Structure 1
Amino acid sequence: MTTQNAVFQRYINNDNVWLAKSTPQENLLTDHGITPCVLASEDEVGQAMLQELYATAAEKTGDINIALLGGRGGQALHKLLGELAKGSEQDDLLARLNVFTQDALAPMGMNNGLSFVRDFERILGSAFFDKIKSFTPMQTDLDDLESGLIDYLNKLEALGGLDIFFIGHGPEENQASHLAYIKPFSGAQSHHVAGLIPISSSILEHHISKFKAGGSQISASDEAECRKAQYILTLGPAAILQAKKVVQSVVDADSAPAKVATYANVLNSEISSDLGTDKQQALAQLNANPGLWIRLHANCKSFVLPNLNV
Structure 2
Amino acid sequence: MRHEDNQNIWLSKQSEFPFNCTDYGIVPTVLNTEAEVGQAMLEELYNTAKSKEGDINIALLGGRGAQELHRLLGELAKSNENDALLARLNVFTQDALAPLSMDNGFSFVRDFERILGDAFFKKVKSFTPMQTDTQDLESALVAYLTKLEELGGLDIFFIGHGPEANQASHLAYIKPFSGAKPQHLAGIIPISNSILEHHISKFKAGGSLVNTNDENECRSAAYILTLGPAAILQAKKIVQSVVDADSAPAKVQTYANVLNTQLSSNKDELLQQLNTNPGLWIRLHPNTKSFVLPNLGV
TM-score, length basis structure 2: 0.99
SS in 2 for 1:207: helix
Matched AA of 1:66: I
* 1:1-310 correspondence runs (5 A): 9-272=1-264, 274=265, 278-310=266-298
CA contact (8 A) 1:42 1:251 kept: yes
CA contact (8 A) 1:33 1:270 kept: no
Q: Distance in 1 between matches of 2:118 and 2:140?
A: 25
User: Aligned-pair distance for 1:29?
Assistant: 1.7
SS in 1 for 2:182: coil
Q: Distance in 1 between matches of 2:262 and 2:157?
A: 23
Matched AA of 2:270: A
Q: Distance in 1 between matches of 2:219 and 2:60?
A: 23
Task: Tell me which stretches of 4 or more aligned residues in structure 1 moved more than 4 Å.
Answer: none
SS in 2 for 1:73: coil
Q: Mind listing any 5+ residue stretches in structure 1 that lack a counterpart?
A: 1-8
SS in 2 for 1:193: strand
Q: Distance in 1 between matches of 2:16 and 2:32?
A: 41
SS in 2 for 1:234: strand
Q: How many residues are matched?
A: 298
CA contact (8 A) 1:108 1:229 kept: yes
Q: Deviations over 1:56-115 (max 9, x none)?
A: 000000000000000000100000000000001110000000000000000000000000
Aligned CA RMSD, in angstroms, stands at 0.5
User: Aligned-pair distance for 1:211?
Assistant: 0.1
Q: Deviations over 1:168-220 (max 9, x none)?
A: 00000111000000000000010000000000111100000010000012111
The percent identity for this pair of structures is 74
Q: Distance in 2 between matches of 1:176 and 1:234?
A: 18
SS in 2 for 1:61: coil
Q: Distance in 2 between matches of 1:80 and 1:288?
A: 36
User: Aligned-pair distance for 1:236?
Assistant: 0.1
CA contact (8 A) 1:182 1:290 kept: yes
Q: Distance in 2 between matches of 1:142 and 1:29?
A: 37
Matched AA of 1:63: D
User: Aligned-pair distance for 1:27?
Assistant: 2.7
CA contact (8 A) 1:31 1:270 kept: no
CA contact (8 A) 2:185 2:228 kept: yes
Q: Distance in 1 between matches of 2:107 and 2:292?
A: 25
Q: Distance in 2 between matches of 1:61 and 1:176?
A: 39
User: Aligned-pair distance for 1:24?
Assistant: 3.4
Matched AA of 2:277: N
Q: Distance in 2 between matches of 1:150 and 1:27?
A: 22
Q: Distance in 2 between matches of 1:122 and 1:14?
A: 36
CA contact (8 A) 1:27 1:238 kept: no
Q: Distance in 1 between matches of 2:262 and 2:75?
A: 40
